[in-house]
């Protein structure tokens, strides 16, 4: 038995699997509601990425914890940011792994959560022209 003993959604929403303190969790992609719930926290992470905010500030750590909790709560509804904060076995790398899994679940590969990136070139529905 792992550290989390609360409710588990049945069936689980498919996503990316991540281990937290040795226990596997499935991180589901965000829906619109979860995007709205984390808009402020994702804004803080964008500021960190733009070097406008320190990566180790209280606000940044709270934003990472909030996003991780919202991501996990899709399949594990009892998980809260306070629970993640208080769990002694969780490390910063665990929360980073949740954010990376969330990015993959949302189709962003290794992109951190935040604004969607524009296509590399041309419209996404454009026919290939063969011109590089």
Report the C-alpha gap between 99 and 57 in whole angstroms: 18
Residue 126 banded pLDDT, cuts 50, 70, 90: low
Whether the pLDDT of residue 69 is over 90: the answer is: yes
The answer on pLDDT for 79 being more than 90 is yes
Residue ranges per structural domain of the chain: 32-105
Q: What tens digit of pLDDT does each residue of 21-50 get? A: 889 999 999 999 999 999 999 999 999 999
d(CA 76, CA 111): 23
**Full-model pTM:** 0.79
Cα separation of 115 and 104, whole Å? 14
- What is the pLDDT averaged over residues 121-128? 51
Number of H helices, E strands in the chain: 5, 2
What is the mean predicted confidence (pLDDT) over 8-19? 96
């Amino acid at each position: 038995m792992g550290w989390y003993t609360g409710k588990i959604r049945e069936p689980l929403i498919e996503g990316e699997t991540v281990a937290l303190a040795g226990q596997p969790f499935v991180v589901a992609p965000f829906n619109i509601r979860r995007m709205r719930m984390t808009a402020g926290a994702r804004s803080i992470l964008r500021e960190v990425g733009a070097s406008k905010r320190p990566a180790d500030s209280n606000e940044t750590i709270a934003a990472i914890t909030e996003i991780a909790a919202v991501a996990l709560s899709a399949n594990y509804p009892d998980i809260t940011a306070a629970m993640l904060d208080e769990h002694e076995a969780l490390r910063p790398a665990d929360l980073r792994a949740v954010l990376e899994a969330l990015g993959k679940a949302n189709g962003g590969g290794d992109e951190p959560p935040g604004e969607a990136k524009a296509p590399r070139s041309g419209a996404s529905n454009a026919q290939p022209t063969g011109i590089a």
